[in-house]
A and B are shown apart, each in its own frame.
Chain A
Amino acid sequence: MNSIQFEQQQIIETFSLFDDWMDKYTILIAYAKELERMPDNLKTDETLIKECQSNLWVSIERRGDQIFIKADSEVLIVKGIAALLIRLLSGKTAEEIRDTNLNLFKEIGLEEHITQTRANGLNALIQRIYSLCNSVN
């Protein structure tokens, strides 16, 4: 088990302590509020994933064989989702990310609780991260 898988398991276990979705959202919002601020100069059209009035900016950068992710959103729940991704993947090597089966959102039940458009956006984002990892050789 690599460090990403270990951290993912920890997060899944934290969420599983609560049945009520309001409690799960409390955790998600706490992650959102702890997220490191994304500099304004990184909020560009290229980093914007737009969904009807709920903007999400995600910048993904490769330095050597490590991937670094920054994100921000006006919507705390969306920011919380991004914060979980960053906690798991940012600063990790492309190899570690490639070797990880990222099933966090399915395991905590989030996929059933976000809109289809947002779920599609999330999946597209994860695909973008993986393809950046695959291009690191």
Chain B
Amino acid sequence: MESKLGVLNCKEDFPIFKQKIYGKSLVYLDNAATTQKPECVLSKITEAYTSINANVHRSIHYLGQMATEQYESARSTIKRHINAKHEREIILMSGATEALNMLASVFGSAFVDRDSEIVVTEMEHHSNLLPWKIICEQTRAKLVVLPVTQAGEIRIKDLKNVLNPRVKLAALTYISNVTGTVNPVKQFVDFSHCMGIPVLVDASQAIPHIRIDVQQLGCDFLAFSGHKVYGPTGTGALYINERYLDVLPPYKTGGEMVERVSLQEVVYKSPPYRFEAGTPNYIGAIGLGEALNYLDRMGLGNIEAHESALAQYALAQLKLFNDLRITGSPAKRSGAISFNIEGCNNYDIGTLLDKHGIAVRAGVHCAEPFVCALGLQSTLRISFGMYNTKEDIDSFCTALERCIKLLRQ
């Protein structure tokens, strides 16, 4: 465990850690909310704005061509990173929320009616629950919710019980942002595909922690946000398997997604551009490409090993606290650990930890049905990034002990 914990040592790559919070070193344990950015990403953004900034896909001038080239290069990087087959399967978006809302809308238009069912799980982030709830309300389709166990897992046998010819799509999160549960995505996809049901994977929490291979998983759709994988805010992608690309209608309409427009007829561009109306966050996308390149340079295997060792260490330390209950007990976990402490309010602890320079999150983490299903009102959550260290965990535990003592005085 010790040797894996030292394998990354990359905090110096992230400028934000130079600053003090209330005079203390920053211990950032809220990576499930958003991640910090390495210098190379920040430099890439500045370089893009200062050397090649021009609108993409429209210009005949040098700057426009350079910007387009780098924007499309970012698309290629994302394609390689998740092992998609074609660049056109990567739709560049402002984040997972936009991606999931768009997919729900266009998929709903094309395939969902009052006789349909959509399957989601009880552990979904609101971004992968509410869009489907709304589509079902609009079409009078049925929303079927796969329950979670008290361990914070879904069961494939529950999935088998709900799959039937009326189900048009099954959606699940790869990794939970509350309990860190790693779901059996491949199995989920295989069973769904046996019944001809396409699968959407919300990879927002998975993308920074594990290798994602959409061809190996076989999923039909996959979404993630750039800001959760060390990239800029306002970036992300929706992967649409090629078999769905030409059957889904456009979502946002406007500039640059049309071949020609008259008042009588509109001919839309081919994917991915059909789904990318308006001026995209091209500088952001270029920054996201750099973030994924940085991840590749560090080695996802190294990151996974380091974070796994960190999580094991953190769990062992947390178990030493009396009256501390870890949320869920999934067989496979990554990223986030949630817990509650008897007699202490999570907002009090979070506020007091903040004064130690320690950033955690308290609440329902935009997954209220999941937190309620586990019998809780809220949790305190720590979530790891590649720059977190054993010393971060030690500082967190020391501060946590002090906070509990103060609240219980």
CB pair B378 A29 closer than 8 Å: no
CB pair A29 B406 closer than 8 Å: yes
Q: How far is the CB of B114 from chain A (nearest CB, A)?
A: 35
Give the complex CA separation of A53 and B376 in angstroms: 11
- Chain A residues closer than 8 Å to B345, beta-carbon distance: 54, 74-76
CB pair B406 A22 closer than 8 Å: yes
Judge whether A77 is part of the interface by a CB distance below 8 angstroms: yes
CB pair B363 A25 closer than 8 Å: no
- Chain A residues closer than 8 Å to B377, beta-carbon distance: 53
Query: Inter-chain contact count A-B, CB under 8 Å?
Result: 44
Q: From B352, B362, B378, give the contact of A22 (CB < 8 A).
A: B352
> In the complex where A26-B406, A29-B407, A29-B409 touch, is A77 in contact with B363 (Cβ < 8 A)?
no
CB pair A77 B355 closer than 8 Å: no
Judge whether B199 is part of the interface by a CB distance below 8 angstroms: no
- Chain B residues closer than 8 Å to A22, beta-carbon distance: 352, 355-356, 402, 406
Give the complex CA separation of A131 and B348 in angstroms: 30
CB pair B409 A77 closer than 8 Å: no
Judge whether B347 is part of the interface by a CB distance below 8 angstroms: yes
- Chain A residues closer than 8 Å to B409, beta-carbon distance: 26, 29-30
Describe A's contact surface by its main secondary structure. helix
Q: How far is the CB of A105 from chain B (nearest CB, A)?
A: 15
Give chain A interface residues in 104-127, CB to chain B under 8 Å: 113-114
| A residues contacting the other copy or chain, number (CB 8 A) | 16
- Chain B residues closer than 8 Å to A21, beta-carbon distance: 22, 355
Judge whether A17 is part of the interface by a CB distance below 8 angstroms: no
- Chain A residues closer than 8 Å to B363, beta-carbon distance: 52-53
Most chain A CB inside 10 Å of its own CB: which residue of B351, B402, B407: B351
- Chain A residues closer than 8 Å to B407, beta-carbon distance: 29, 76
- Chain A residues closer than 8 Å to B222, beta-carbon distance: none
Q: From A25, A53, A74, A78, give the contact of B352 (CB < 8 A).
A: A25
Where the two chains meet, the residues of B that have a C-beta atom closer than 8 Å to any C-beta of A are: 22, 345-348, 351-352, 355-356, 362-364, 377-378, 402, 406-407, 409
Show 9 A/B contacts (Cβ-Cβ < 8 Å), sorted by A: A22-B355, A25-B351, A29-B348, A29-B406, A29-B407, A54-B345, A77-B348, A77-B352, A78-B347
